[in-house]
Chain A
Amino acid sequence: MKKFRLMMLVLVLLFSLSMLTAVTAQDEPFRVAVVSPSAINDLAFSQSMYDALLTIQAEMGEANFVFDFQEGTFVVDDAAVALRDWASSGNYDLIIAHGSQYGSVLEQLAPEFPEVSFAWGTDVNTFGLDNVFAYTAAADQGGFVNGALAALSSESGIIGVVGPVEVGDAKAYVDGFIAGAKAAKPDIEIQVNYIGSFSDVPLATEAANTFIANGADVLTGSAQMVVGAIAVAQENGAKWFGTQSSQSELAGDAGVLFQVYHWEVVLRDIIASIGEGKLGGESYILTLENGGLVMET
C-alpha cells in the first residue's frame, strides 16, 4: 500500500512538473540561431540580417524573441559544426544559415533533424525538404534602380563598379545595375571590376581609384570590402550608390541611394509559418513590391 501511494505521489509530481514545463513552454520566447560569414557590423550582408533580427525583437519584445548569432564564420565547415550543435540541442525554433555557401551543409543536415526548422539564403532552393525555408533578395531590382539613377546623375558619362567574386548576390546586383544604367542612358560607359575577393580592401580601393582616374564620377559596389572604395568616392567628390545595408553614415555627402535588405519581411512570414506548425518548404524573395527591398538615402 505504501508503495502504491508513493507511486501515486511520484506520478502526480511528474504530471504537475510536465504541466509546469508546458506552461513555461508557452511563455518561452521564440529562439533563433544564425550563422553568417562576415561580421555583424560589416555594413553589408551580415549586418542586413542582424538589423532585421533586431527589428523583429523590437516588434515582439525581448521577452518573446531571442537570438544567438555566430558571425565571421567564413569557413563553411565551422558553420556546419555550429548548425549541427544548435539543431541537436533542440533549443531553437528556427536555425538560419545566412550565406549561400552554407547550402550544401544544410542539404545534408536538415533531413537528419526533421523536427527542426531551418532557413537559408540567399537562394530559392529548399532541396525539396519540408523543414527548410529559402530566402533571397531580388538584388537586380534595386540594382536597376541604382543603375538608372546613377546613369542620370553622372556628368562624365562614366560609372565604376567594384565587385567581389563574379557570383551570386553580387553578380545579380551588378547585372541589374548595368541594365538599369543602360536603360536610362544607352551611351553610358560602365567599368566593372571583380577583384576576386570579399575581403581585399586595398585592391578594392585601388580599383575605385582606377575608375576615378578613368573619369568616373559615380561609383557603386557590393560586399564588405567596398569600405575603402566609399572613402575614395567621398574624397574625389564622386557619388556612391550602395547595396545590402545602408552605408550612409560612412559615405557622408557622397552617398546617394542604398538598396537595403529588410529580411524582417521574410522572417515575419517564416515565424508565422512555424507558429502554424509548418517548418519549411517555402521560398521567399525580397522585392521592391513586397517591401523587402527599400531604397534609402
Chain B
Amino acid sequence: MFFSSPNQTIRKAFNRIFDTTPLLISLVAALVVASVLLIAMSTDPLQAYRSMLNGAVGTENAFAETLVKAIPILFVAVGICVAFRGGVINIGGEGQMIAGALAGVSVALIATSLPGPLIILFSLTAGFVAGALYAGIAGFLKAYFNVNEILSTIMLNQIAVQSMNYLLNGVLLDPTEAGTNHIPKTAKILAEAQLPRFSITLPDAIYGALQGLGFAGTPELFARTRLHYGMIIAILLAVIIYMLLWRTTIGYRIRAVGENENASRYAGIHVPRQIILAMFIAGGCAGLAGVVQVLGLQYRLQTDGSATGFTANAGFNGIVAALFGGLNPLGAIPASAVFGGLLVGAQKMQRDMGVPAALITAVNGLIVIFTVSSQMFARRRARRRAANEPPRSERVLDAAVNTPMEQQT
C-alpha cells in the first residue's frame, strides 16, 4: 500500500494542481477587477502592473524588500494555521505582535551585559511568551467563559495599542527623548542584540549566468539590502509548526478539536486545553513577528499612536497568507512571499503611477473574498476524491498518531 502505481501518482499530481488552481484564479480575478478600477482612473493597467512587478522583484533591493515584508506576515500566518486548524479564529495578531515586541525590546534593553546571541535568544523567547500569553487571555476566555474569540481579540488589539503608547511614553521612553516635544520610542538596542543582515555569496557559475541576464549586483547577494536573519527563523518556525501539526499527538488533538469539537470530547480529548493551546501557539508566533521586526529591522520600538504604524497590518495580512497557503505552514511560506511582493509592489505603483494605496487595500479585500469563495470548489473536489480514496497524508497521519493516542487512553 506504500507503493502507488504511476497512474495514481499522475492523478495525485493533477489533484495538487487542481487544488491550487482556484487560488490562482482568485488572484487573477482580483487583478482583473483592479484593472477595471485602474482604467476608470485613467491609468494604464499594464504599465501599472509592470511597475508593481518591478517594485516587487525587479531589482535585488526590491526582491529583498519583498522578503523583508514577508517575514512578519509569515510568522503570523504560521500561527494562524494552528489557530484555524484548531477552530479558533484569531484576529488578534496585531495586539499579539505588539505584546511580543514590547516584551522582546524590554529584554534586549535590560539584558545588555549578556553576550549578543544570548540577548537575541532571551529576547525572542520573551516575545514568544508575551504574544502567547496575550493570546492566551482570549483562548482562556473562550474555553472557560464561552467568550467569542473574534470579539475578545479585537478588543485586546485596542488595549495593546494603548498600553504600547503608555509604556513608550513612560518607562520605556528613550532617555535622550525626554523633552516635551518627544517622539514615543525606546532607546536603540545594542548592535550585538540586532539580528544580522542576511546575504548569500553566489557561486561563480550562477553569478556569471545572472550577469549574463543583466544582473547588476555584486556576488554578495542581498549584501546592500535590509534582508535579515528573521527570514531564516520564520522558515524554521514554519517547518517546526508543520511537524507539530501533522507529526505529533499535540497537533492531532488540536486539529481534531477544530474539525469536530463534540467528537473530540467523546474521544476523551480535553477540549478547553486544546483551544487555549492553539491560541497560545498562534499568539506566540505573532509575538515573534513583533520582536523580530524590532531585532531585525527597526532596532527600537516606536509608536505613532496606532497599531498599523508598527505592525504594517501584518496581523491581518498573515490571515490572508495563511488561507492562501491552504492553512499549511509550509504553504504559508510562498504565500507570504507573494503577499509581501504584492504590498511592496503596490507601494512602487503608487510612487511611479500615482495610484492611491487605497486601491491596494480594496484589491486585498477582493483577494480575500475570492480566495475564501473559491474554497468551495476545492472542498467539493476534496469530497469527491475522499469518496474514491483517502489521501496519503491522512493515512500516514493516522498511522503515526493513532498508536500513541490509544496508548494514552
Contact = CB atoms under 8 A, between A and B. Distances in A.
Q: Is there a contact between chains A and B in the complex with CB atoms less than 8 Å apart?
A: yes
Interface of A: 37, 68, 70, 72-78, 80-82, 84-86, 88, 99-101, 103-105, 108, 112, 123, 136, 164-169, 171-172, 175, 196-199
Given A81-B65, A85-B61, A104-B300, A74 B183 contact: no
B351 interface: yes
A78 B180 CA distance: 28
Contacts of B123: none
Interface in B251-307: 293, 297-300, 302-306
Interface stretch (B233-241, B308-316, B375-383): B308-316
B2 to A, nearest CB: 47
Contacts of A81: 65, 69, 344, 347
Contacts of A104: 185, 188, 298-300, 302
B306 A167 contact: no
B184 interface: yes
A108 B224 contact: no
12 contacts: A70-B350, A74-B309, A76-B298, A80-B226, A81-B344, A85-B55, A85-B65, A86-B351, A104-B299, A166-B169, A172-B180, A172-B181
Nearest to A35: B351
Given A77-B297, A101-B304, A104-B298, A85 B309 contact: no
Contact of A84 (B61, B181, B185, B309): B61
A75 B312 contact: yes
B351 A68 contact: yes
A88 B351 contact: no
Nearest to B186: A104
Contacts of A165: 165, 184, 303-305
Contact of A88 (B61, B169, B310, B313): B61
Contacts of B65: 81, 84-85
A199 B307 CA distance: 12
Contacts of A168: 181-183
Given A37-B304, A84-B65, A171-B181, 11 more contacts: A74-B304, A75-B312, A76-B312, A81-B344, A82-B351, A85-B65, A101-B183, A165-B305, A168-B181, A196-B165, A199-B306
Interface of B: 55, 61-62, 65, 68-69, 162, 165, 169, 180-185, 188, 224, 226, 293, 297-300, 302-306, 308-310, 312-313, 343-344, 347-348, 350-351, 356-358
Contact of B183 (A72, A82, A167, A175): A167
Nearest to A75: B312
Nearest to A172: B181
Contact of A77 (B62, B306, B312): B312
B347 A164 contact: no
Contacts of A78: 312, 343, 347
Nearest to B161: A196
A172 B180 CA distance: 7
Contact of B302 (A84, A101, A172): A101
Nearest to B162: A196
A293 to B, nearest CB: 15
Q: Chain A binding site: helix, strand, loop or mixed by DSSP?
A: helix
A123 B183 CA distance: 9
Contact of A75 (B55, B68, B308, B350): B308
Contact of B306 (A68, A169, A198): A198
Contacts of A198: 304-306
Contacts of B350: 70
A43 to B, nearest CB: 18
Contacts of A196: 162, 165, 305
B210 to A, nearest CB: 18
A114 B180 CA distance: 31
Contacts, number: 100
B180 A171 contact: yes
> 3 shortest A-B CB distances, which residue pairs?
A165-B305, A75-B312, A101-B304
A167 B356 contact: no
A180 to B, nearest CB: 15
A85 B350 CA distance: 13
B209 to A, nearest CB: 24
Contacts of B348: 85
Q: Which of B305, B308, B343 has the most CB of A within 10 A?
A: B305
Nearest to A88: B61
B306 to A, nearest CB: 7
Given A82-B347, A85-B61, A171-B181, A72 B356 contact: yes
B269 to A, nearest CB: 41
Nearest to A122: B181
Nearest to A108: B299
A77 B309 CA distance: 8
Contact of B357 (A72, A85, A164): A72
Contacts of A100: 183
Contacts of A175: 180
Contacts of A76: 298, 302, 304, 309-310, 312
B223 to A, nearest CB: 11
A197 B306 CA distance: 7
A76 B312 CA distance: 8
A87 to B, nearest CB: 10
A80 B65 CA distance: 10
Contact of B181 (A85, A103, A169, A199): A169
Nearest to A77: B312
A167 B182 contact: yes
Contacts of B293: 77
Given A77-B297, A81-B347, A101 B309 contact: yes
A101 to B, nearest CB: 5
B305 A197 contact: yes
Contacts of B303: 165
Q: Which of A75, A84, A169, A172 has the most CB of B within 10 A?
A: A75
Contacts of A103: 183
A204 B222 CA distance: 45
B52 to A, nearest CB: 13
Contacts of A171: 180-181
A74 B309 CA distance: 6
Given A103-B183, A167-B183, A74 B169 contact: no
